[in-house]
Amino acid sequence: NAGVTQTPKFQVLKTGQSMTLQCAQDMNHNSMYWYRQDPGMGLRLIYYSASEGTTDKGEVPNGYNVSRLNKREFSLRLESAAPSQTSVYFCASRALSGAMGTGELFFGEGSRLTVL
């Protein structure tokens, strides 16, 4: 059982380049998330998708776009990378029962992005 799979695990970009981080989950979860983790900042929510066909901004959405391709897949795109986007990115999925917030997040192993 793979859980949440992210690709690539490592990427180095030059300022202004674009790239897409891919995420797929095999747990039949409705909700999917993208977080970034920076030292001393914890995890900050970039975007989330409560269900297939919907996406919403989180705390730090500027400079990013997302696509919920289907129930399994949720991608994060950097259109014009900046050094401030150097971070570790985590995809996560979550099962929610109605509007209850009791379900936990299941995380991928992370994608380390460096923007020069």
Partner 1 sequence: AQSVTQLGSHVSVSEGALVLLRCNYSSSVPPYLFWYVQYPNQGLQLLLKYTSAATLVKGINGFEAEFKKSETSFHLTKPSAHMSDAAEYFCAVSLSGAGSYQLTFGKGTKLSVIP
- Where on the chain is the footprint of partner 1 (CB under 8 A)? 4, 31, 33, 35, 40-45, 48, 50, 56, 58, 90, 92, 94, 96, 99-102, 104-105, 107-110
CB nearer to partner 1: give 38 or 79: 38
**Least distance between partner 1 and beta carbon 40 (Å):** 6
**Least distance between partner 1 and beta carbon 89 (Å):** 11
CB nearer to partner 1: give 1 or 100: 100
**Least distance between partner 1 and beta carbon 61 (Å):** 13
Q: Is beta strand 87-94 parallel, antiparallel or unpaired with respect to 111-115?
A: antiparallel
DSSP string, the chain: ---EEEE-SEEEE-TT--EEEEEEE-S--SEEEEEEEETTTEEEEEEEESSTT--EE-S--TTEEEEE-SSSBEEEEESS--GGG-EEEEEEEE---TT---PPEEE---EEEEE-
CB nearer to partner 1: give 31 or 87: 31
